[in-house]
Amino acid sequence: MVTTVTVGLGSCGIAAGAKKTYEKIKTLQEESALDFKLKKTSCVGMCYREPLVEITDDTGTYLYGEVDADRAVEVIEKHVVQHNPIRDYIVYTDLFEAPENNFMNSQVKIVLRNCGFMDPESIDEYENRNGYQSIKKILSEKISCETVIDTILKSGLRGRGGGGFPTGMKWKFANANKSADKYVICNADEGDPGAFMDRSVLEGDPHSVLEGMIIAAYAIEATHGVIYCRAEYPLAIKRLNIAIRQAQERGYLGQNIFGFEGFNFDIYIKEGAGAFVCGEETALIASIEGERGMPRKRPPFPAVSGLWKKPTNINNVETLANIPWIILNGAEAYARYGTEKSKGTKVFALAGKVRHSGLVEVPMGMTIRDVIFKLGGGIKKDKKFKAVQMGGPSGGCIPEYLSDTIVDYDSVNATGAIMGSGGMVVMDETTCMVDVAKFFLDFTCKESCGKCTFCRMGTRRMLEILHRISDGQGKEGDLEKLEEMAIQIKNNSLCGLGQTAPNPVLTTIRYFRDEYEAHIKHKKCPAKVCRPLLTYQIMEDKCTGCMVCMKNCPVKAISGERKQPHHINEEICTKCGLCFSKCKFEAIMIS
C-alpha cells in the first residue's frame, strides 16, 4: 500500500505550528521525490499534543505528537524512508502500548467520528465514510417524515445546546405547523468553551452538519437552511462554504435535491458578531433578520413563528452531527449508549488545570471523575483536584467530592451546574472560588443584551459585591444578599442567559461557603489569589541577602544589607508579587 502522511490542520494545530510542519513535509517530499501521499485533516481532539502527524503504511497506523518542523524531518527520514517508526514520538497506535492509547480508546465517537480521520474539504472522503448515505436511505426507501421523526424520538437524542429538549419532539412541533416556507437553523454560535467543540466539528466534518440539516429539512418539510456561525471562526466558515458548494454541485442542495422531484432545500451562512446572548434561539433569529440580538417573549415558539415569522427548527452543531449516524445505524444502536433519560454520547471541551486539554466524546453515564482523570490525565503538576465548572460561563462549579456524578442532564442539573454545550473547566487547589465566580459573572454581565432589568442591573450589583469581597471589603450579610439577588435574577429574566447567569455564584457559595467566609471574616484568600488579601514576608533563614527582590520592588518596600536578611514594609507594599516571582531561593512566603 501507499504510505499516507496526514497533518492535523485544525485551528488548534495551526496555532501550535502545524502549517510549518505541513510545509516542511511537503518540501521534503518534493525535493527528495519521496513516494507517499500527503494529506490534511482537522483536530483529532488531542490538542495538548499538537502538531499531530499520522502515518499509515502497510504495517499499521501511527500518530506522532508534538511534531514541529525539525521533528518532521526526523520522522519522515526514519519512518517513511527507512521504515523504522520512532516509538518515543508515537502517542497513539493500536500496534503497541503508547502514551495516549487510553485517551483515544476510552471514547465513543459518534459526533467526532470523522474529525481527524478525513480531509474536511473533500466530499469524496466524506462519502467514503458513509457520508450522505443516511439521507439517500431515507429517500430511496421512501421513509416518511413521521417515521424519521419517530426514529429520532426513539433514539432519545436530546438537544446538545444546553436545555436538553428532546430533538424529535422539537421536529414534531415544527412538522405540525404547515407553511410554504419553513426554516432549519444550525446554531453554531454557542458562546462558552463548548464553542470549541462546535468549531472543531465544523472545521473537521462540515458535511455531517449539512447532512443533518438536510434530514431535518426533510422531516419538517423545510425549504431553507441557515447556519449561524460567529465570524471569529474563519476556518470553520471557509470549510463550510467549501462543503456547501460541493453539495450544491452534486445536487445534494438546491432544487430537486438527490434527484427527488419537489425536495427543495438550500443552505446559506450568516456570520454572527459573537454575542453570547445569540446562543438563545429568539435572539439568534433576531440577529439573522438584521435586528439587534435580543430575546423575544415566548410563546409563540420558533416552531410556530420563527425566522421571518415562519415555522423554524433550531438545533446546534453537535445535535445535527448525530443525526446521520442515528438514521444509518438505527435508534436502538444510539440508545444503547447512555442512561435512562440521557442517551448517546456527549462531547466535552476539557480545559483549565487538566493535563490533557482538548476534545473528548464519551458515553452518557461516565463519571466526571473518569472524564478528568482517565481521559484528561488528571491535574497538572499533581495538584489537588478542587472543582470543575460545567456549562460554560452560566454553568456551575461541581466540587471534588461530587466528581462521581455521572454525565447526564438530570444528574448534572441536580448539582446546580448545567450540561450546556460541553465546556468542562478543571480547577485545582490554587484556584480561588470567589475569583472564579467573579470571572464568569463578569462575562455574563458584559454579554447581557440589557433588555431585562434584573439581568442588566442585577448581575452588575452581584459583581460589585464579589469585587468587594475579593478586595477585602466584604461584609456580614453579603452572601445572603448574593443568594437573594441570584434567585430574583433567575426568576425574572426573559431568556436563558439571565436565568442561568447566577449559577457560578450560587454553586460556589453552596459548595465553598467557607472560602467566601475566609474572605469576609478573616480577610484572607485561602488559595492565595486575591492580591489585596495577601501578605508577603521574607523568611530570614532562607534569605541570602542577594538584593534581587529589593532591586525589583517598584515602591522600595524592601530594605536590607547585602548578604543579610531583608524585610518588607507591609505599609508600603502594593502586593504586586514581583519579589515572590524574582526570588531564586524561595525565601518569600505568601500568607
Q: What is the pLDDT of residues 346-385, one digit of tens each?
A: 999 999 999 999 999 999 999 999 999 999 999 999 999 9
Poorest-pLDDT segment among 66-70, 103-107, 418-422 = 418-422
Q: What is the CATH number of domain 433-521?
A: 1.20.1440.230
Of 435, 436, 432, which is closest to residue 417 (Cα–Cα)?
436
Residues of the chain with CATH 3.40.50.11540: 123-333
CATH class, range 345-428: alpha beta
- % of the chain beyond a pLDDT of 70: 99
Where in the chain are all domains bearing CATH 1.20.1440.230?
A: 433-521
The rounded percent of the chain whose pLDDT value lies above 90 is 89
Highest mean pLDDT among 236-250, 438-452, 492-506: 236-250
User: Which are the contacts of 401, defined by CB distance < 8 A and separation ≥ 6?
Assistant: none
Average pLDDT value for residue range 232-260: 96
Region at 130 (left for phi over 0; alpha for psi -120 to 50; beta for the rest): left
Topology at the third CATH level for domain 123-333: Rossmann fold (3.40.50)
Give the pLDDT confidence of 172-215 residue by residue, as tens digits.
999 999 999 999 999 997 655 446 788 999 999 999 999 999 99
pLDDT of residue 218: 98
In this prediction, residue 191 carries a pLDDT of: 55
Q: ω into residue 99 within 30 of 0, thus cis?
A: no
Top-level CATH class of 535-590? alpha beta
pLDDT of residue 193: 46
Please give the CATH architecture assigned to the domain spanning 4-101. Answer: 3-Layer(aba) Sandwich (3.40)
Residues with Cβ < 8 Å from 142, sequence gap 6 or more?
none
Give the span between the Cα atoms of 222 and 304, in whole angstroms: 13
Mean pLDDT in the chain? 95
Closest CA to 544 of 559, 526, 561, 531: 561
pLDDT of residue 125: 98
E strands, 275-344, are: 312-316
Helices 145-155 & 206-220 angle (0-180, nearest 10): 120
Query: Within the chain, which residue ranges are assigned CATH 3.10.20.600?
Result: 345-428
Our CA dihedral for 206, 212, 218, 222, rounded to 10 degrees, sits at -70
What is the tens place of the pLDDT at every residue in 45-89? 999 999 999 999 999 999 999 999 999 999 999 999 999 999 999
Q: What is the mean pLDDT of residues 295-321?
A: 95
Residue 341 to residue 584: CA distance in whole angstroms = 55
Burial of 580 (0-12, 13-18, 19+ CB in 10 A): middle
Buried b (16+ CB within 10 A) or exposed e, 304-324: bbbbeebbbbbbbbbbbbbbb
- State residue 341 phi and psi, 5-degree precision: -110, -5
Mean pLDDT of 289-298: 92
- Backbone dihedral angles phi then psi of residue 137, each to the nearest 5 degrees: -65, -45
Name the more confident of 545 and 90: 90
> How many CB atoms are closer than 10 A to CB 19?
16
375 CB neighbour count, 10 Å cutoff: 24
Of residues 240 and 587, more confidence is placed in 240
pLDDT at position 232? 86
Average pLDDT over residues 408-418: 94
